[in-house]
Amino acid sequence: MVRDLGYRRVQCTGRGAYIISLPKEWVDEIPIEKGSEIDFIVNDDLSLLLIPRRIMEKKFEERLKLNEYWINVSSKDDVEALCRKITALYVVGASLIHMRFSSDIGNSTQFKLSIRSLIRNTLLGSEIIDEDQHELTIQILINHLEFPVEKAIRRMFVLALLADKSSILAIRDFNQNLVGEVVSICSDVNRLNLYVIRQLKFGLEHNLYKDLGFKSPKEFLGYRIVVNVLKNIAENALNLMDGIAALKRMIDEQILFIKEPLDEEDYSQILQFNVSAHRLLEDSLKAMLKRDYALADKVIAKSKDAAAAEGNLIALISTKKIDPNIAAILRLAIDNTRRVMEYSRDISEVTLNRTVEEVALKD
């Protein structure tokens, strides 16, 4: 709660120093004594924030304090539900998660195997630090200083585009090897997504927006939108790969016979469309990280061509004699690429919102 303690008159000594008295009510409440240290912080609007050293130290200790949670697990609990609860605790900033397995479970092996798999595949920076027959403890070891949010987002971006490109390349010869690659990439993207959400939540709760490179707390929401976009790109690529893999299985098992091969002109046009979409996404991320309003505005203008380009490609496919199963795969690839261009616009809109005050003149 903000309290107004009135005005204080500034006095000047003969040596050019400026002196102001502190409100006695505030001094007694802290309390402040002779020799106490006070930290002076200048805000963006040039107002001055005074924080006694003991309050600063208390805030620092609270940041270091471990967020510890306990989960009691019984035979009635579902393994997947337990994993979801652990994931939720990870996202909200848990440092230690203890699990107690009740005696009615008997053998807790299945629970522990699922937890190990969750840690290995989903929870970045987590390790099991203690385990016996009845208990298991997970510690989250990584923090935002060791792996900054911006670095995690850059990595998500590289992986998401790699998954999307691999899914497009797999169309040409139904490359089964790329399926496993995309599955692995999507798993990594999901791990990074949860990590970034965790760090953004921690930063918002502890008012660390400047430590994360933000100019105001409202930028947390923008970054949350960006990581969700990158996660969607990877998931869309995985859906396309699932369709390709299913089609390949039916062909191998001779359930389905493809009469017409893939039309090279169609594939070349889709590949070119995909390359253009990737360039647009690269520009949108570049604009966001560099706070480039002009570049973000250009990306939004270019993204308007996505629907027209998609329509032209679908019209091209419709004029060719293509197997319906192949046509369905091509349409999904086109749809994914159009989404990438739309996601570029979404990221660029985030950039406009966070930088418009820097380029617009105020009265």
Mean pLDDT, range 280-304, rounded to an integer: 94
The string over 168-203, giving b where at least 16 C-beta atoms fall within 10 Å of a residue's C-beta and e elsewhere, is bebbeebbeebbebbeebbbbbbbbbbbbbbbbebb
What is the CB-side half-sphere exposure of residue 99 using CA atoms within 13 A? Answer: 26
pLDDT at 47: 83
Regarding whether 216 and 329 lie in a shared domain, the answer is yes
Q: Do 181 and 109 share a structural domain? A: no
pLDDT level of residue 259 (50, 70, 90 thresholds): low
CA distance 153 to 223: 9
Helices then strands (H, E): number in the chain? Answer: 11, 8
The pLDDT value recorded for residue 203 is 81
Please list, in sequence order, all residues whose beta carbon lies within 8 angstroms of the beta carbon of residue 24, skipping any fewer than 6 positions away. none
Please check whether residues 185 and 119 belong to one and the same domain. Answer: no
Confidence of residue 159 (pLDDT cuts 50, 70, 90): very high
Domain membership of residue 4 (yes or no) is no
Number of domains in the chain: 3
CA 328 to chain centre: 31
Q: Which is more confident, 135 or 11?
A: 135
| 353 and 333 co-located in one domain | yes
What pLDDT digit, counting tens, does each position of 17-52 carry?
788 888 888 888 888 888 788 878 777 777 888 888
Note the pLDDT of residue 59.
67
Q: What pLDDT, in 10s, does the model give residues 314-353?
A: 888 888 887 888 888 999 999 999 999 999 999 999 999 9
**Per-chain mean pLDDT for the chain:** 86
Q: Are 355 and 312 in a shared domain? A: yes
Cβ-contact 194, 123 below 8 angstroms:
yes
User: So what's the pLDDT on residue 212?
Assistant: 72
Q: Is residue 2, in this structure, part of any structural domain at all?
A: no
Q: Provide the CATH number for the domain around residue 220.
A: 1.20.58.220
Q: Residue 26 maps to which CATH number?
A: 2.10.260
Tell me, what amino acid is at 174? F
6 in any annotated domain:
no
Point out the domain boundary residue: 92, 122, 140.
140
* 1 occurs within a structural domain: no
Kindly state whether residues 97 and 180 are assigned to the same domain.
Answer: no
Contact residues for 55 (Cβ-Cβ < 8 A; gap 6+) = 30
CA gap 318, 197 in Å, rounded? 42
User: Does residue 199 sit in the same domain as residue 134?
Assistant: no
Mean pLDDT over 96-110 rounds to 85
Whether residue 347 sits in one domain with residue 229: yes
123 and 176 co-located in one domain:
no
CA distance 330 to 286: 29
- Note the pLDDT tens digit of each residue in 58-95: 766 665 566 889 999 988 889 999 999 999 999 988 88
- Strand pairing class (48-52; 68-73): unpaired
In this prediction, residue 96 has a pLDDT band, given cuts at 50, 70 and 90, of very high
- In sign, the C-alpha dihedral spanning 306, 310, 311, 313 is positive
Of 99, 122, 140, the domain-final residue = 140
Domain with 40 in it: 11-63
Question: Is 3 within a domain?
Answer: no
In a domain, 280, yes or no: yes
Do the Cβ atoms of 212 and 100 come closer than 8 Å?
no
Residue 18: exposure state from Cβ atoms within 10 A (0-12, 13-18, ≥19) = exposed
Q: 165-220 pLDDT, tens per residue?
A: 999 999 887 777 788 889 999 999 999 999 999 988 888 877 777 777 777 778 88
pTM of the model: 0.77
322 or 261, which is more confident? 322
For the ranges 22-31, 130-139, 220-229, 268-277, the lowest mean pLDDT is seen at 22-31
Do 33 and 168 have their domain in common? no
In a domain, 35, yes or no: yes
320 and 263 in one domain? yes
Residue 218 and residue 314 in one domain: yes
Give the tokens for residue 10. 């500034």
What is the identity of the amino acid at 291?
A: R
C-alpha neighbours within 13 Å on the C-beta side of residue 162: 18
Residue % of the chain over a pLDDT of 70: 93
Given this model, what pLDDT does residue 66 score?
Answer: 67
Task: Specify the CATH number for the domain of residue 81.
Answer: 3.30.110.10
Residue 125 resides in a domain: yes
pLDDT score for 276: 94
**CA 2 → CA 5, 53, distances in Å?**
10, 20
- In the chain, what is the straight-line distance between the N-terminal and C-terminal CA atoms, in Å? 30
Domain boundary among 111, 140, 169: 140
